[in-house]
Each structure stands twice: as C-alpha cells, then as structure tokens.
Amino acid sequence: MNKETINTALGNLADVTGIKGFWKHKDPLDGMLQIFVREQSYDFQVKIFNEIRGHNILHPEEFQNTKEPVILLANRIFPKIKQELRYKNIAYIETNGNIFLNRGNTYLLVDTQKPVTTEKQTGNRAFTKTGLKVVFHLLRNKEDINLPQRQLAEKTNVALGNIPQVIEGLKETGYLVPLKKRRFVWENRKELLERWINEYAIALKPKLRKGRYKTPGNVREIKFDNHLTVWGGEPAADILTNYLRPEKYILYTRETRNELMKNYRLIPDNEGEVEVFEKFWADIETQPTAPPILIYADLLLEGGKRNIETAQIIFHEYIESNL
C-alpha cells in the first residue's frame, strides 16, 4: 500500500465521518497516525495491509506489545474478520472510510461504504492457479527450490515450462534471493505463506470445488482411501489437535463423483454437510488429513474464534519451524 492509498483512506474517512487523520511515516510498524475526534486526539501505530483475512490477525501479539495502540489500515477487510477485530478490540480503517475505534470515551463504527476499486496486479506467474500449486509444494519443502527444474516439475505435477516462470515471480516479489549456479535462498517465507493463502482463496480454491454431499450415516466414521481422499478444514484440525469440534466438513479427493458415491455412500446434495474439493497436490498421503498448511488456510478462510485459535496451534506445532 503506497502513500497515495493512505491519503485516499484518510480523505474518505474525513468525507464519510468528518474525522481528520494525520499520517507520519516512521517506525515502528508502518508509521504513525493521529486521529482527531471532536476535540480529542488519539495516537496509533499503524499496520498496513492490502487485504485483511484471518491469518493477518492470527498473531496479534506481534503488534499489540507496542508503546501506542495499533490501528490496522487496509484496502479491504472481509466481514468475518471485521467481527473478529471488533471482538479483539483492534481498531481498523478501510480505504473507503469505514472505521472501527473503541478507545477512551470514543466508540466509532462505520460499515456502510463499498470497497474501493483498485487496479488488479497481473503478470506474476507465482500466484496463478498453476503457480500456487508449485508455491504450496515449496512452502512445505523449502529445500526443493534448488532441485533441477525438471525434477521440481515432476514433484509438483506441472508442466516444466511453468517452473522458471514461478521462480522468476518469486524473485520479483523478493521471496527468493539468487546465489551462484542457479541456487537460491528464501526470504520472508511467513509473508509468502500469508500471500499464498490470500491468492489461494481467490485464484485456486474456487476452481477446485467439486460440490457438496450428504451421507446417511455418521460422516466421521467413513474410512477413506487416504491415497486419494483426505480431510481438510475443521475435521482435519480436530485430528491434529483434538481441540476443535467440527461443524463444517471439507474433503480433498482425486476420486470421481461416481467413486465417492460408490465407495463411501456420499450423496450429491447442494445443502450437504460435506464440501468436496479436488486434491491438487501431487504427494500421496498416508495420513487421513491434508498437509497442515492447507488445514491452517482452511481454518483462517472460514474464520471464527475457535477456528483461529486452532489455526494458531497448528501454526506453532506444524508450520512455524519450516518457515
């Protein structure tokens, strides 16, 4: 987010609410913001995002132990996340002028403005449908970035011609630093994970959806062929952590509609409790769950206090050490 966007946010805030804000670009975080409400002024440290989804507020301790309170500024904040932010009493401003602020004797909540249209970034092949599959593999297997490109293509089950384009995209965004002899080192892998989740939700996950199903029995008692079909989302998180009682069920599968019906008595139903997605990664699983990174993403994209708490557990126990 650049200075022009910051100015847009403060301009729209003034137009919508009459509240004036003054920006100072300095550390810590991304800058400082002074907001005037009537005759009262409030100082905030600012954390800036393009979009805020669940994973952006997963670790509030990263920016809550600061001298001044923090306000989040973003082009867009998704509705479920606004609820979470208000629950956590974390102030925010959207560039359209929407605001939440609860400090001292001031309580502000404006949520009437439509999202500001921004120019869509294009051209980075690391975040296309195919690129996201490669990045997913590399987030799980960071050492594979230095494999021969043909071998990496085989491991990710994508065409060889895509690999140099994905690598170039990761270099352009600063996540890969080239060394000699076509070797690379990683930078900011946690940030890359966050971006992957954002892009996955928009560019890949909707295309993987295979429909909803119901079952005449207890869905948790079904024995799936885990080489082909595994749990994602809440049921997978429950298996990993024993902390979350599933309310929504996600499966990732390579089995066809007819095979799901024949093998597990799943019945197509638009209102069914089981949502099924294509298993898009090449590895053959031996466990009943999708990889932890995907479970983590599912929980954050679904949102909700319990899901985010469970995602924290999975992040710390299964993901953090590999970033």
Same-domain status, 216 and 270: yes
Q: Burial, 40: exposed, middle or buried (Cβ in 10 Å; 0-12, 13-18, 19+)?
A: exposed
Tokens describing residue 128:
């296309």
- pTM of the entire predicted model: 0.70
- Total structural domains in the chain? 3
Q: Which domain holds residue 139?
A: 125-187
Tokens describing residue 320:
């953090």
Q: With a cut of 50, which residues of the chain have pLDDT below it?
A: 1, 119-122
Residues pairing with 33 in the sheet: 23, 44
Q: Kindly state whether residue 198 falls inside one of the protein's structural domains.
A: no
How far apart are the C-alpha atoms of 157 and 159, rounded to whole Å?
Answer: 7
Predicted pLDDT of residue 22: 80
Convert the pLDDT of each residue in 230-270 to its tens digit.
Answer: 999 999 999 999 999 999 999 999 999 999 999 999 999 99
Which of 283, 280, 307, 282 has its CA nearest to residue 296? Answer: 307
Same-domain status, 90 and 169: no
Residues pairing with 107 in the sheet: 102
Q: Kindly state whether residue 196 falls inside one of the protein's structural domains.
A: no
Convert the pLDDT of each residue in 130-179 to its tens digit.
Answer: 999 999 999 999 999 999 999 999 999 999 999 999 999 999 888 999 98
Q: What angle do CA 6, 11, 14 make, to 5 degrees?
A: 130
Predicted pLDDT of residue 65: 57
Predicted pLDDT of residue 196: 92
Domain holding 132: CATH number? 1.10.10.10
CA 205 to the chain's CA centroid: 12
Residues pairing with 12 in the sheet: none
Number of H helices, E strands in the chain: 12, 14
Same-domain status, 212 and 148: no
Whole-number Cα distances in Å, 96 to 78, 118, 275, 295: 13, 11, 34, 32
Same-domain status, 56 and 152: no
Residue type, 194: E
Q: Kindly state whether residue 75 falls inside one of the protein's structural domains.
A: yes
Predicted pLDDT of residue 119: 44
Same-domain status, 41 and 129: no
Predicted pLDDT of residue 311: 92
Predicted pLDDT of residue 19: 87
How far apart are the C-alpha atoms of 246 and 263, rounded to whole Å?
Answer: 23
Predicted pLDDT of residue 161: 94
CB 252 within 8 A of CB 229: yes
Predicted pLDDT of residue 110: 93
Same-domain status, 250 and 317: yes
Predicted pLDDT of residue 53: 65
Q: Kindly state whether residue 17 falls inside one of the protein's structural domains.
A: yes
CA atoms within 13 A on the CB side of 159: 5
